[in-house]
């Protein structure tokens, strides 16, 4: 993953990471606009939710994301392409593909296959 600060000024961020079993959760807050790009963790699905922004939007692959409603990051084979506003808070969930597939199978959600994620 590569992060590039896009706005001027001193950069400040808070990062919290929690692991429960093989699930990993992160919460990140930033005070400057940042572009993040690169490969997602191999063997994991990565989902993200924007909690808040002060001004502007987060963008994923050029598409604006609405805070607290747009859950994104489904395609595990596509690189990350995220641009943040100057102030924002987001959370991420990382789950091994095999674990997700087992849970989906247990719930009889056979529609949550490769076609769902692309």
Between 20 and 97, where is the model more confident? 20
**Contact present, 39 and 79 (Cβ < 8 Å):** yes
- Fold that domain 2-117 belongs to in CATH: Jelly Rolls (2.60.120)
pLDDT at 115: 64
pLDDT at 61: 85
Percent of the chain surpassing pLDDT 90: 49
Residues 7-57 pLDDT 10s: 999 999 999 999 999 999 999 999 999 999 988 888 888 888 999 888 889
- With bands split at pLDDT 50, 70 and 90, how would you rate the model's confidence at 68? confident
Q: Tell me how far apart the alpha carbons of residues 3 and 15 are, in angstroms, rounded to a whole number.
A: 14
Rounded to an integer, the average pLDDT of 84-93 is 93
For 1-118, list the strands marked E by DSSP.
2-5, 13-20, 23-30, 34-38, 44-53, 58-60, 63-65, 71-72, 80-83, 88-96
């Amino acid at each position: 993953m590569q992060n590039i600060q896009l706005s001027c000024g001193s950069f400040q961020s808070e990062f919290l990471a929690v692991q429960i079993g093989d699930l990993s959760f992160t919460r990140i807050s930033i005070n400057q606009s940042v572009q993040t790009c690169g490969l997602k963790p191999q063997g994991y699905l990565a989902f993200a939710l924007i909690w808040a922004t002060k001004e502007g939007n987060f963008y994923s692959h050029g598409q604006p994301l609405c805070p607290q409603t747009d859950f994104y990051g489904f395609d595990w084979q596509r690189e990350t392409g995220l641009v943040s506003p100057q102030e924002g808070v987001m959370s991420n969930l990382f789950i091994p593909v095999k674990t997700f597939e087992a849970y989906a199978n247990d719930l009889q959600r056979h529609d949550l296959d490769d076609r769902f994620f692309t």
